[in-house]
Amino acid sequence: MTDDILADNILADTARRLFAGRVTPDILRLAEEGHWPADLWATVEEMGLPLALVPEEAGGFGLDTVEALGLVRIAGSTAAPLPLADSMLAAWMLAGAGLEVPAGPLTVAPSVAPPRAGRAMPSLIRDTGGWQLSGTADRVPWGRDAAAIALLAEHDGRTHVVRLDAGDWEIAEAGRNIAGEPRDGLRFGLSLADNRVAPATDGLDASILHGLGATLRSLAMAGAVERVLDLTVRYVGERVQFGRPLAKFQAVQQSLAVLAGQAAAAGAAADGAAEAFAELSAGGSRILPVAAAKMRCGEAAGIACSIAHQMHGAIGFTHEHVLHTLTRRLWSWRDEYGNDAFWARQLGQEAAAAGADGLWPLVTAA
């Protein structure tokens, strides 16, 4: 085992212990009430986790991309109320464009590919004094808490990365997903100096960014489904009904087997998407594994939530129980960066474009 692999394992183990020990019911409750978990974020930032995707020469860890993405899965398994995945993606975007990566929680203004009717990319215009940026962004994760936002804008036929710092935007619509995580509509219009705008890394555009975001949500869902499985197995082993544990009933065992299969499928799909992320972030265009993973993890999320709540009964919905903090995130994350229908259309379009002769090579290449 090489020193690099040892370092990666140590980082993952440390992150696992951190989130397991520090993401408490009180932290989750306060986060849902609108309190930013500053102490938890400070520890995460001190460990350097938001820079996990940033190359060493740019101030990051220089980790293997797939290993770095494992941190998103770990955070997802604990329902950590932090924008770790979004910060990692924003830091990667900024560093790739040669822009400074600021301290504090970061986020990304999600790109929609193709843009929704009436919703275009932000307008970026070059003038003698620098840059003029104007536009809006919908449902930005943790927009109200972010120290900076990375977004994409087009200028002169090329995609640029723009860094907005706190105070550069106003919240047009303060929102939350059903898990209580901030998802804010933002509005901005300002002048920017040259050190806040730069051409994006080769290959990065709105469509690729959408795929990278979908990969991160898939990994978070895979981690959450695994935790849901663990909680359910533990509960049915402890809960006694009619004189014996629930786990002894055949119907319960069958449901657990289905849940375990869904967790395994989601994990495998997310692993494939993580490998595709590495290629996409290096300028590739292989989006099919991402589409398949987002769909498969979304399907697993729905089935896992249904079985877990059925097994737990009413207690799983109580505010004191941890289960709902995971299932509400699963229901939310499966719709972000494209829902199942969106990615099914992408798969269908790719298959149709490949034609009969190209279908098998397309499937095996993915």
The answer to whether residues 87 and 191 belong to one domain is: yes
Name the more confident of 345 and 9.
345
Contact 246, 257 (CB under 8 A): no
The answer to whether residues 42 and 184 belong to one domain is: yes
The answer to whether residues 152 and 239 belong to one domain is: no
The answer to whether residues 190 and 111 belong to one domain is: yes
Residue 6: its pLDDT value, please? 40
Give the percent of the chain with pLDDT over 70.
95
pLDDT at residue 1 tops 50: no
| CATH number of residue 279's parent domain | 1.20.140.10
The answer to whether residues 290 and 355 belong to one domain is: yes
Residue 3: its pLDDT value, please? 44
Helices 3-22 and 38-46 cross at an angle (nearest 10°) of 170
- Reported as type and span, the H/E element at residue 214 is helix 206-238
pLDDT at residue 355 tops 90: no
Q: If you average pLDDT over residues 38-57, what whole number do you get?
A: 95
Confidence of residue 112 (pLDDT cuts 50, 70, 90): low
Give the percent of the chain with pLDDT over 90.
76
Q: If you average pLDDT over residues 298-327, what whole number do you get?
A: 94
Q: How far apart are CA 279 and CA 203, in angstroms?
A: 11
Q: What is the span of the domain harbouring residue 116?
A: 3-199
Of the listed ranges 90-94, 233-237, 353-357, the least confidently predicted one is 353-357
The answer to whether residues 11 and 85 belong to one domain is: yes
The answer to whether residues 77 and 164 belong to one domain is: yes
pLDDT at residue 48 tops 90: yes
Final residue of a structural domain among 150, 168, 199: 199
Q: How many domains does the chain have?
A: 2
Confidence of residue 120 (pLDDT cuts 50, 70, 90): low
Question: What are the tokens at 329?
Answer: 């995130």
Q: How far apart are CA 291 and CA 269, in angstroms?
A: 10
Final residue of a structural domain among 199, 227, 252: 199
pLDDT at residue 359 tops 50: yes
Confidence of residue 353 (pLDDT cuts 50, 70, 90): confident
pLDDT at residue 240 tops 90: no
| CATH number of residue 59's parent domain | 2.40.110.10
The answer to whether residues 35 and 94 belong to one domain is: yes
Contact 186, 119 (CB under 8 A): no
pLDDT at residue 281 tops 90: no
The answer to whether residues 214 and 191 belong to one domain is: no
Residue 317: its pLDDT value, please? 85
Mean confidence (pLDDT) of the chain: 91
The answer to whether residues 230 and 323 belong to one domain is: yes
The answer to whether residues 235 and 303 belong to one domain is: yes
Final residue of a structural domain among 199, 221, 241: 199
Q: If you average pLDDT over residues 111-120, what whole number do you get?
A: 54
Express each pLDDT in 157-172 by its tens digit: 999 999 999 999 999 9
Helix (H, G, I), strand (E, B) or coil at 338: coil
Q: If you average pLDDT over residues 18-47, what whole number do you get?
A: 95
Q: What is the identity of the amino acid at 343?
A: W
Q: If you average pLDDT over residues 267-287, what whole number do you get?
A: 90
Residue 63: its pLDDT value, please? 86
The answer to whether residues 189 and 216 belong to one domain is: no
pLDDT at residue 203 tops 70: yes
